[in-house]
Amino acid sequence: MRNEGLGSWIHRRRVKSAGVTAVTGAGIELTYDQLAERIERLASALAARGVSPGSRVAYLGNNHPAFLESLFAAGSLGAVFVPLNTRLAPPEVRFALQDSGSTVLIHAAELDSLAVLGCTDSPVTHRLMVAPEEGPAASPAGTETVSGAPAAEPYEAVLQDADAEPRDVEVGLEDPAIILYTSGTTGNPKGALLTHGNMTWNSVNVLVDYDVSSETVALMIAPLFHVASLGMGALPVLLKGGKLVLHSRFEPGATLAAIEEHRITSLSGVPTTYQMLAEHPGWESTDLSSLRMLTCGGSPVPARVLDAYEERGLSFSGGYGMTETSPGATALPARYSRAKAGSAGLPHFFTDVRIAGSGEAPAGPGEVGEIQIRGGNVIREYWNRPDATSAAFSDGAWFNSGDMGYFDDDGFLYISDRIKDMIISGGENVYPAQVEQLIMELREVSAVAVIGVPDERWGEVPHAVIVRAEGAELDEKAVLDHLEGKLARYKVPKSVEFRESLPTTASGKIRKADLRQNALRA
């Protein structure tokens, strides 16, 4: 085949894995050969609507087989796939569509209003609407030309009317595959341009460093529009011929039921995900014997969560990465989850990681500096942002992560914190992650974020925002007493605030920028 990219993956799999279930979700179950035919039909439909090599095709929706069909169909045409976060407001959707120059938007029926408003003054000329999980396809009546948006066409009808002729467009590994918009703290987000090679090398890293096989049954509870779910979960599993079980949203009870029903072998999430599962009433009675691989990203797994899973004979693999690394940079094997607790692990097999030291020399063990990454999984550029691209790289090849960290004597990476999250109090650096890990030792704490707040004397000081565990009693004194003697005085929060919840991104990460803004207004 002339197509070396993602768009050829399912076509190459269709005979090797014919009759094997590839994906199930939203009441749909597809084998690899059925999925390949639907991808070919969608590719024909997109081509008939003007999509060609270099065109951009956007997708707005939660986890659904149509997401994967859209990704691979765009790739088979040499087009660029633009997955959008379903939590975006209309102006943010509009910006992404305008900035990417997307001409086709495929979206979930339940997000029709958001899609219509987002299409205003955008280059989108065609909308395909995916039917809701229950019932017939939603009618596009009443949405035509509203706010200048094109009329919506029913997705399934479009596929039925299209031919299923295989396509073999020339696509190389250096060609663009996906534009993922990174959430910025100021201004508009940047579009990270991931090539077919970036996603391929990331998948190879996952296959080398994690236990993925053709027998893998992966439950996808995090949104596929997030690079971790797509790059670390869905794509490597499909590359190996495994099975994906898609959930449109995370709900602990439904997740536990799915593990038992589908005999799930692989699950990915953030620490809060696993904590909520362990605290659910169905935790003790659920058969978890099929689970083989639990991966956790975002932050280290708290000791009490490790305890809960180890009591069930389960351990975690961890890792570190970001959108710009497709997303894997390091991996922590499960056998080191205790010995190297708090570590982000070792560099992925085909990825290099270093700590920038003073001058041109890399930092030594234990020396904190900015984490820099190089490899085939690292983006070359931001979409239409040469200024941001230039600022993101050192020595022309090393990507500046914006994270602070250090290596221990064995070469394991530890994350100190985001550069922008680091607190400078009286000239001393305070890394919130260190403080948060200690606070999470308290069983009464469900979630915590430490931020810097203005202080007349010290410039800024640490402030802890805590969510109590259900039914728990905890006050500021108990928190500060727990930290006594474990941290330098300047690292101990000068104030503690209790809330019912913390603002999070779609991937479950705490939005510290929102907390800082609220603190400034208080």
The CATH code for residues 423-521 is 3.30.300.30
> Does residue 354 have a pLDDT over 90?
yes
Torsion of CA 339, 341, 346, 347, to 10 degrees: 170
For residues 275-280, give the mean pLDDT: 93
The Cα–Cα gap between 138 and 336 comes to 50
Q: Does domain 37-172 have CATH number 3.40.50.980?
A: yes
pLDDT, position 360: 66
Q: How many beta carbons lie within 10 A of that of residue 133, not counting itself? A: 15
Mean pLDDT of the chain: 92
pLDDT, residue 183, reads: 62
Contact 249, 220 (CB under 8 A): no
Mean pLDDT of 132-148: 50
Q: Which residues are CB-contacts of 304 (< 8 A; sequence separation ≥ 6)? A: 440, 441, 443
Give the separation between CA 126 and CA 151, rounded to whole angstroms.
7
Amino acid 38 reads R
Between 23-32, 448-457, 474-483, the lowest mean confidence (pLDDT) is in 448-457
| Residue 459 scores a pLDDT above 70 | yes
Q: What is the secondary structure of 176-215 as a DSSP string? A: EEEEEEEPPSSSSPEEEEEEHHHHHHHHHHHHHHS---TT
Say what the pLDDT of residue 428 is. 78
Write down the pLDDT at residue 141. Answer: 39
What integer pLDDT is reported at residue 353 of this predicted model? 98
Q: What residues have CB less than 8 Å from 126, skipping those under 6 apart?
A: 49, 50, 103, 104, 105, 150, 153
Tens digit of each residue's pLDDT (9 = 90 or more) over 365-384: 999 999 999 999 999 999 99
> Average of pLDDT values for 415-422?
83
Pick the CATH number of 196-418 from 3.40.50.150, 3.40.50.280, 3.10.580.10, 3.40.50.12780: 3.40.50.12780
450 burial class (0-12, 13-18, 19+ CB within 10 angstroms)? buried
Residue 144 has pLDDT above 60, yes or no: no
The pTM for the full model equals 0.86
What does the pLDDT look like over 340-349, one tens digit per residue? 988 999 999 9
pLDDT digits (tens, 9 = 90+) for 157-193: 999 999 999 989 999 999 999 999 986 544 678 999 9
Tokens 């700590």 locate to 355
Please check whether the two domains, 37-172 and 196-418, share a CATH topology: yes
Q: What is the mean pLDDT of residues 437-466?
A: 92
Instruction: Flag whether pLDDT at 455 surpasses 90.
Output: no
Q: Are 171 and 78 in contact (CB under 8 A)?
A: yes
Q: pLDDT band at residue 456, thresholds of 50, 70 and 90?
A: confident
Q: Can you tell me the distance from the alpha carbon of 392 to that of 389, in angstroms, rounded to the nearest whole number?
A: 5
Q: Which of 54-63, 240-249, 417-426, 454-463 has the lowest mean pLDDT?
A: 417-426
Sign of dihedral through CA atoms 150, 155, 157, 162? positive
pLDDT at 409: 97
> Is it the case that residue 143 has pLDDT exceeding 70?
no
Q: What's the confidence (pLDDT) of residue 206?
A: 98
The secondary element (H helix, E strand) that includes residue 279 is: helix 271-279
pLDDT at site 464: 97
Higher model confidence: residue 318 or residue 187? 318
Give tens-digit pLDDT for 35-75: 999 999 999 999 999 999 999 999 999 999 999 999 999 99
Pairwise CA distance, residues 302 & 122, whole Å: 44
More confident residue, 430 or 162: 162
pLDDT of 359 higher than 90: no
Domain ranges of the chain: 37-172, 196-418, 423-521
Give me the pLDDT at residue 299, please. Answer: 74
What is residue 139's predicted lDDT score, i.e. its pLDDT?
40
pLDDT exceeds 50 at position 125? yes
